[in-house]
Amino acid sequence: MTADEFRSAGHALIDWIADHLEGSGDRDVASALAPGDVRAALAEHPPTEPEPFDAVMADVERVVVPGITGWQHPGWFAYFPANNSYPSILGELLSAGLGVQGMSWVTSPACTELETLVLDWMLELLDLPTRFRSTSEHGGGVIQGSASEATLVAILSARHRATEGAVNADGDTTRLVAYATDQAHSSVEKGLRIAGIGAERLRRVDHDERFAMRPDALATAVRADRGAGLVPFFVTSSHGTTSSMAFDPTPEIGQICRREHLWLHVDGAMAGIAALAPEHRAVNAGLELADSYCTNPHKWMGVNFDCTTYWTADRAHLLGALSILPEYLRSAAAESGAVIDYRDWQIPLGRRFRALKLWFAIRCTGIEQFRSMIRGHVALAQELASWVDGDDRFEIVAPHPLSLVCLARTGETTEVANRRTDELIDGVNASGRAFVTRTVLDGRSVLRVSIGARATTRDHVVALWDLLRELA
């Protein structure tokens, strides 16, 4: 493809994307394709001759678009929001166009320094503790690819601190114990497995009726483990759990962690971004006690995946866990101590210039527009919850402080109610007009309505409510 062909194909693709996103509500949310349909509709073998870009885009239209699920659709109420936005798409495009590596400062100084800067911007925008700032004595921030990687990095930092670094050499993790509720994200267990801690050493601390961790239960569990000769080392406090948007009480949990010398990781992947709006800053309560924290601009801030902002108040143990310096990665800049080499802050070595999309989103969208989007989604969720509350065929099964409403069908027995809820979920998802996710809370089937797509308006929530009542 020549530069001129790129210009013409690129202009066409930009227009195609605008048409696609503006028209997302005209398609079904869920793909109607069955397993194997996409592959069967495409060439089974690679071409021997180059093909024109138009031929590839014809396949995108014919096969790929009918095969995607509508994460940008206004009827998207499933999982969590994963919004893109026009400025962010351009940031990703520029990153691909520049084609630089940010593994070390020297491999592209701007890639590192812009990232450090926007991480400090985010601290300011979210009103987070200054101990996470790049200019603080012990802290700093970095973009991770996902909250899962942020959790793993936190576990590894904690493991390094608890073993005083010995784990790097002898790998001995046999006495370490971690704590979270059974509502914490699956990446906590996955991270502990990866790190060689094992699921048997993850204590599932009791939660209360709001699905939030009970601090007294944490304190008791830690005491019991110490009594058994084990080494408690890591606690995940979830700010907005995936299932029900529950908030663990970090101010109390943090006190226990301080007293017991446990690494406290706060997982605010979904909810933390709400702090862009000052009236929602309670979503980050207690962070002054956290050793690490993450939230996802790629969820509720219009920055296309992947962009997890991760901060630590203890970068020495992060670096201790992850830095390795072969000869071919040495540089005078790094050895002077004047620069950050982000390869030592993450699992992989290589890294894209992801700061661009966050920087573009903040500058070209403007903070007020993020705030009004978040406020709008929260208001819609509260309105939906009030409608559910007023209809005795439904009930609300968890607190709904933000944009997630967990509801269920009522029924004479749990079994009947669960069957009705499951049928309701299948009915909504088969409609093509909306897409929701099922979860289970204390044995009950639950229909999650996560309101957060950029294109979702009140009309779409009203339509969902009409659909729910019709199906019930």
What is the footprint of a second copy within residues 304-363 (CB under 8 A)?
A: 304-306, 321-322, 324-330, 333, 336, 338-339, 347-350, 352, 356-357, 359-360, 362-363
Residues 25, 74, 105, 314: which binds a second copy (CB under 8 A)? 105
Stretch of 182-190, 251-259, 395-403, 458-466 contacting a second copy, by CB under 8 A: 182-190
SS3 134: coil
Residues 184-213 that bind a second copy (CB under 8 A): 186-187, 189-190, 192-201
Measured from the CB atom, is 109 or 399 closer to a second copy? 109
Contact pick of 136, 146, 255, 410 for a second copy (by CB under 8 A): 146
Query: Least distance from C-beta 388 to a second copy, angstroms?
Result: 19
Burial of 440 (0-12, 13-18, 19+ CB in 10 A): exposed
x/- track of binding to a second copy for residues 125-144 (CB under 8 A): x-------------------
Question: In the complex with a second copy, which residue's Cβ is closer, 325 or 462?
Answer: 325
Q: Which is nearer to a second copy, 69 or 386 (CB)?
A: 69
In angstroms, what is the minimal distance from the CB of 258 to a second copy? 26
- Interface residues for a second copy in 68-97 (CB under 8 A)? 68-69, 71-72, 79, 82-90, 92-97
Among 15, 61, 279, 389, binds a second copy (CB under 8 A): 15
How far, in Å, CA of 471 to CA of 391, rounded? Answer: 14
99 forms part of the interface with a second copy (CB under 8 A): yes
- Helix, strand or coil for residue 267? strand
Which of 157, 236, 242, 418 lies at the binding interface for a second copy (CB under 8 A)? 242
Question: Which of the residues 287 through 306 are near a second copy (CB under 8 A)?
Answer: 298, 304-306
Cβ atoms 299, 452 nearer than 8 A: yes
443 counts as binding a second copy under rule CB under 8 A: no
- Range 207-216 burial, b when 16+ CB lie within 10 A, else e: beeebbbbbe
If one asks whether residue 465 binds a second copy (CB under 8 A), the answer comes out as no
In the complex with a second copy, the residue whose CB is nearer, 85 or 250, is 85
CB of 392 to a second copy, least distance (A): 26
Q: Residue 102 CB, nearest distance to a second copy (Å)?
A: 10
Residue 75's closest CA among 470, 352, 446, 430? 430
Closest contact distance (angstroms) between CB of 186 and a second copy is: 5
User: How many residues touch a second copy (CB under 8 A)?
Assistant: 154
x/- mask, a second copy, residues 16-55, rule CB under 8 A, reads: xxx-xxx--------x-x-xxxxx--x-xxxxxxxxxx-x
Task: Name the token pair of 280.
Answer: 């929602």
Q: Which residue's CB is nearer to a second copy, number 255 or number 437?
A: 437
CA 333 to chain centre: 33
The reply on whether position 62 binds a second copy by CB under 8 A is no
Question: What is the residue whose two structure tokens read 């493809």?
Answer: 1
Residues 376-435 that bind a second copy (CB under 8 A): none
Residue linked to tokens 């239960």: 217
CB of 131 to a second copy, least distance (A): 19
With residue 359 as reference, give the H or E element that holds it.
helix 355-365
**Distance of alpha carbon 107 from alpha carbon 330, whole angstroms:** 11
Alpha helices in 163-288 (DSSP H): 166-170, 186-194, 215-227, 250-260
What are the backbone dihedrals phi and psi of residue 238, each rounded to the nearest 5 degrees, phi first?
A: -95, 130
- Exposed, middle or buried: residue 27 (CB in 10 Å: 0-12, 13-18, 19+)? middle
- Write out the E strands in 206-361: 231-238, 263-267, 292-295, 308-312
The closest of 311, 358, 354, 330 to 105, measured between CA atoms, is 330
Which stretch, 6-14, 249-257, 381-389, 392-400, contacts a second copy (CB under 8 A)?
A: 6-14
Distance of CA 428 to the CA centre of its chain: 25
